[in-house]
Amino acid sequence: MSSAIAAGVINADSNATPVGGGLIQLVAETLTVGGKLHANGGGGEVNLQACTLTLGATGQTVAMGTNGFNLLQASGPMEVDGTMTAATANTLDYLDPAHLPVVHSSSISPAAVIVADNPPVLPLCPGQTTTTTGPTTSTLAATTTTVPSTSAPTGLCTPPSCDDHGVCMPGNCVDGQCEYVAVTGVECATAALSAMQSLVGASPTAFKNKAIRRKLVGRLAHLGHLVGKASGQGARATRAKRKAANGFASFGTFVDGQRVITRSTALSRRA
């Protein structure tokens, strides 16, 4: 596997739906990024994988929009000198405990999180094999790597359920710290759809207009059908994913329209 240098701009921006964001994925034995990689929209991801990974001072990874995140993975040395900006998470994932990520940048928002082989890191260094390490997480300060105190009581997290990053960034409470793992694509869409169905179905009496609730239930059922067909590979799945993305956008437009109608009706009654 050869070296790669990303010195220019790579644009994977897309529409603002939960499954609409693009994916930028670069894999090489030695990877240096000095340009701007952006996957804005919704659900966008910038994923860099290498044995030796460097985000240079001029390098940028940007994934803004619903559920957007950056994931840097190195099986050897990793150095971050550039800018990382994401809607939900900036994750630095390492394989070899002898090569913890080195961060010199003060332009990372939200603060980067260091994890050990989670999700699994490809062994891209010559002669390297996958090593087993326990799941660990640490948070990066602006310019230095810091490991949070482990003095918090076991099982006590804030929030306790670790559900503050949205349905596409589920978390678990481990030794007093919330550990999050991003899900994307169809898995993210399925989680978002399940959450919306739960909200609509949890309290039917909360809907004064039964007709609106019936429409919401019907549209969500249609979305479920589209998302179910989007799993898998090939041209058919690709078309289904596109239809599902358009379906989410249409659902959002419908909900926004009902809010306007409801508000206008309420104002008319007051008048």
- Is 153 within a domain? no
pLDDT of residue 122: 92
Instruction: Report the range out of 27-36, 132-141, 150-159 with the highest average pLDDT.
Output: 27-36
Angstrom distance (rounded) from CA 120 to CA 112: 18
Q: Report, as an integer, the average pLDDT of 217-241.
A: 78
User: What integer pLDDT is reported at residue 113 of this predicted model?
Assistant: 92
Is pLDDT above 80 for 69?
yes
What is the per-residue pLDDT for 205?
61
pLDDT at 203 over 60: no
pLDDT at 136 over 60: no
pLDDT of 99 > 90? The answer is: yes
Residue 252 lies in a domain: yes
Could you give the angle at the alpha carbon of 95 between the alpha carbons of 115 and 72, nearest 5°? 60
255 or 100: whose pLDDT is higher? 100
State whether 229 and 106 are in the same domain.
Answer: no
* pLDDT (average), residues 173-177: 80
Q: Using 50, 70 and 90 to split pLDDT, how confident is the model at 243?
A: confident
Domain end among 148, 170, 202? 148
Q: Which residues contact 34 (CB under 8 A, 6 or more apart)?
A: 5, 6, 7, 56, 57, 58, 59, 82
pLDDT of residue 207: 62
For residue 241, pLDDT beyond 80:
no
Model pLDDT, residue 130:
61
Mean pLDDT for all residues in the chain: 78
Does some domain include residue 11?
yes
Q: Say yes or no: 200 and 97 in one domain.
A: no
Q: Is the pLDDT of residue 17 over 70?
A: no
195 in any annotated domain: yes
Residue 176, in any domain of the structure: no
Domain boundary among 148, 169, 198: 148
Q: Which of 89, 122, 148 is the last residue of a domain?
A: 148
Is the pLDDT at 216 greater than 70, yes or no? Answer: yes
Gap between the Cα atoms of 137 and 174, Å rounded? 9
Helix axes 210-230, 235-270, angle to 10 degrees: 170
Same domain, 209 and 77: no
Q: What is the spatial distance between Cα 153 and Cα 15, in angstroms, rounded to a whole number?
A: 42
> 138 and 77, same structural domain?
yes
Same domain, 41 and 137: yes
Whether 158 maps to a domain, the answer reads no
Q: Which DSSP letter does residue 212 get?
A: H
- Least confident range of 14-18, 92-96, 132-136, 162-166: 132-136
Q: Does residue 95 sit in the same domain as residue 17?
A: yes
Whether residues 26 and 92 fall in one domain = yes
With contact defined as beta carbons under 8 Å apart, do 115 and 92 qualify? Answer: yes
Reported confidence tier of residue 264, pLDDT bands at 50, 70, 90: very low
* Residue 237 forms part of a structural domain: yes
CB burial of 113-133 (b: ≥16 within 10 Å; e: otherwise) equals bbbbbbeebebbbeeeeeeee
d(CA 106, CA 190): 35
pLDDT bracket for residue 58 (50, 70, 90) = very high
**What is the structure's pLDDT at 259?**
53
- Looking at the predicted structure, is the pLDDT value of residue 202 above 90? no
Do 88 and 168 meet the contact criterion of CB atoms below 8 Å apart?
yes
Mean pLDDT within 185-190: 79
Residue at 180 is within a domain: no
Q: Does 125 share its domain with 200? A: no
82 and 135, same domain (yes or no): yes
Count the domains in the chain: 2
| Same domain assignment for residues 133 and 18 | yes
- 139 and 54 belong to one structural domain: yes
Backbone angles phi, psi at 256, to 5 degrees: -60, -40
Same domain for 81 and 28: yes
* Residue 266 reports pLDDT greater than 60: no
Domain that holds residue 215: 185-270
